[in-house]
Structure 1
Amino acid sequence: MPTAWAQERILSDDIEVRVLADGRLDVTERIAIRAEGRIFRHGIVRDIPVRYRDPTGTRVVVDLDVYEVLRDGRPAPWTAERSGNRMRVRVGDARRLPTPSTPVYTLRYRTTRQLGFFDDHDAVYLPAFAPARDVEIARGSIAIALPDAVPVETLHADGATGTVDAPGRDFHLALSAAGTTRWTLARPLPPEAGWTVSLAFPKGLIAPPSRQQRLAWWLHDHRGPLVALAGLVALLVLYVLQRRRHRQGHARDDTTLRDVPPPGFSPGGLRYLLRMRYDARCLSSDLLAAAVDDHVHLLRERTSEGMQWRVLRTRPGAHRLPTLEQRALLTALLPGPGTQDAVVLAPAQAEAVVATWRAHERALRRRFQPALFGVRGGGLLAALAIALLSGATALWLSAEAGLWAPTLAIVAAMGLILVACAIRARSLTAEGERLLAHIQGLRRYLAGDPGTLGGEAAPPPLDVHHYEHLLPYAVALDVEAAWTRRFVAAAGPAAASASVAGLPWYRGVTVTDLERFCRSVGQGLARRIVAARRRGARRTKRRRRDAKDDATR
């Protein structure tokens, strides 16, 4: 190390603290340096701790006001800015210091909230020097003067030097009956070491802050989380209002039942409009409808890995299916005669399942949006504005107060609610409202709700043909269990099981329990599709990542 650099250091740093009667600390700090142009080029940088935890673990946030800065007794240019848990005071300007030189800087500032008020005493806790400085302090002292004289035996002074891992007590201590306590360094303080002092004194010298003052401080310190919480509450209110409108749109007093589906719409399409989003049952119900129409057969079989579903083509011509979405589904799942006539809904066929999911969802979206429902832009924009404004403001305030964790947690919750608002921010067109009324009438009929059946013709008898015809719609509308119970009640348990066991499009495990059959074509089929799709999505991501890695090599 060059000699000049070795000599460049803080010659002395003396801090005098006056405890005022109102609880503020008036601090005068004199810093003498030896400048050689390496570290001290234009002036000094003083980092004053303003956020820390006292010995009791209480979080302390200090309000600091610098009101005078001198160099060799004359005013000096300076700036102050927060840097993490410290207030960084920069003294100097673009002009370089003469070298070598030994200027003396004087900083005067006031702080609040550095007093602790306990049951049997009050105390000053002063983290004077933080570690990780650029140079050592050759000599240093800290003096704390109380407002009034105090018997020495009622004072308790303490302190610590060094680091967290290697604490020390490299200082001398002197107590005065005049109410002044002085700590003096016993040896130079290295750059990696800090210095903290504390002084406990009898109660009654300083009036404790009022409850209103403590509340004001708490509110000021927690501005970031509070702003984030206000934004979260506003988003929740907006979401509840959207959900209420959505329910009001779905809850109707019309008691008309519908025993036939709306013409030209597949079971998956009805579910897509009812929920205004896509899921596995949209696909499974349309696949079930294709089986009922004898375009495919469903084989449920036991394997070493458990139960699995196999889809078998029975006749060519997906174009004969009644709806666009069903044609897209079958074309993607079984591309063409001779190419692939069977597919297993398992992770091994994940790519085919993923392609089918995308094609089916795309067909439904094109058909239903925006013709039958669309996004309500006003509500979504309001939610987005609330989230962005409150989130950005809260993060900015939290950075100043050092309260990142609670604010980030609340902002993350705001993000989840924003997603929920985006899902709910959809509304039906007039044609969509009419279709929804028909869907609800059909759902109530399948569930066995009482009401008046629309139309003049009597409902068809609930035999196996009527049951299987409407089973895909019951699966799509989440009432397959109720629809199956109605069929069992009408036909009898034995006859119903025998009839379903003879269905040509369902093969494999023998049907002996209609409730189990109902769960398999409802929940089981949808779960198999979801499991295969997840595996396919992971494979696609891995393939894209590998391709990107190959491109960057």
Structure 2
Amino acid sequence: MKNDILYFKFSDENFAAKVLRLLAWPILCAMLVFLTSCSDFDKEFTVQSANSTVEVYTDGTGFVSEFFDIAVKKAENYGGVYVDIPQRFTDASGGVHWRDFQLAAARRDGRDEYYSWENNVPGYSIYIGAEHCKNCSADLPTGLTKIQIAYWLGRLVRQEGGREVLFLPAYMGRVHGQGAKKTLTLKLPPGGTLRPSQQDRTAAYDVVRSAPNEIQVSIPAGKGDRVLPDIEVEYPAGTFVTVTSGKRVEWWLSDHFLPFISISGLLIAGLFILNRWRGWRLPACSIAVDSKETESISPALAAYLFLDWKPGAAKAAFMASACHLAMKRMLRLSGLGEDCEASDLSARQVRKKGKVARARWYGLPAVTRSVFGRIEGERPVNDRRTVVNALYGFERDLHQIVAEEYRKIRGGVDRTRLATAAIILALGVAVAYFIGLLLYSAAISGLLLIVFVVVTMFRHPERFPVATGTAEQFKQALGLMVGLPVMVIVALVYIGTTEVISEQWPYLMAILLHIAGIIAVLAMLRMPTSKQRRIRNNILNLSRYFNGEMDGPAMSVECYEHYLPFAVALDVEQRWTERFNLWRESQKMDACAPDWRISS
């Protein structure tokens, strides 16, 4: 329900198109800011009186016809008014119910008029009049004008023991909360007895039986009619049409629909997070290294996992991949330090051979093959290439290739999480729509999105494209220095100038919790899966194994060469080589130069 009085839209389509291209989503919020901040109903209109007639039928429905006498004081005005229709009510026992509503007509001065309506928690806001900006031809003429609205109300009877109670609101509609004098004429079926209210009704309004089956209610000017007690008329059982069980179930679902969808989104978010959190718990500590896990990942990924994806992991990942190539006899290395050189690059020849040789090449991880391409592209000196020189300018691509390998281990996009976030979003949008705070909620969401983008921009500038040309740089600067501040101001002004009534506050809190639930569910997309956690734990165990702190595969030449690239990735290749030399001495093996080393 609007806090301000009247509503208008910009009619300058060219200007709106330009703003839309620059600011995208906030254009609608900007329109509503001007709408709410510029409206001044009291200076342009005065509600002089309101008269309503309600005719109740024995099927439990009523036909309402209302007339509002409105004095137009200014020639330039907004061209229409909102009529608020209450549908949500609380009975004497505290139960919340919803009256059925069906609009029959909306007229101005006896002629059909343009109308639209919006949802809100107490009921509906019906706009009668053309929506436009000031200085447009649709301004209402000065003087007295009569607004008429007619509609059907249903579900006006409830059962209480052996009696039937007809309950009617003390007011049917109102124009922008104006406290004008109001008269209600109630035409009722015969046999009814007016029930005394538990509240002090006499202080709220006067009730007079003007005819045997007619009651007249007078509400004095200035009375806050939102909180007036309902008018209750008691009838003998059987006066109205008996309601079927199916209809009662339908009514119950309708009464609890809004709380249900409000709670459903929160329950879905909570259950999803709880389920994933329970599944995210770390597995029991292993007592030995799982050799199968190391066979399924590249040494480069081991380096990034061990160093927690820090920038310094690129060098360790690159050197580990070079060592991996040497272990696969794709090249030879002069050593394992940063100053090592590579020679005898044989992968190109291997790829030209038969299927077995090509399978051996393409069986290598993608990052290992990419590292070979970088080393191969270095200019050789005496058939030797400095390995670390090939890393320069390759760090970002290396990180992306390893991250892609890590995503494949994850199993692709987690569609369950995305679907859950979409369901919560849909429920949150539905709640915002039915309580009349859709744009208000969009303004809050947009404000949070802008804050997120700005924080991400400062923390991770590499994720945003860099403008190359002068025109692109100007547009980017204009968007950052003008566009974002304007959007923030628009959102804040709209949030600050829009009234949230008491009935809307609980649902607004539910919407905010929906937003928090969506953020939490999407944040879990970055959490590692059980397989990813298992691989990382195995890498940590591998480090302990290299240092002799954990059992693992029995030492052998094959074992040493298989795990040497991982030892390089974890920066313990010296300790791993020392363990191998001690084993070799215990086995009385002669020292020899391996064929993956460049001979002196």
TM-score normalised to the size of structure 2? 0.45
Structure (1 or 2) with the greater strand fraction = 1
TM-score normalised to the size of structure 1? 0.48
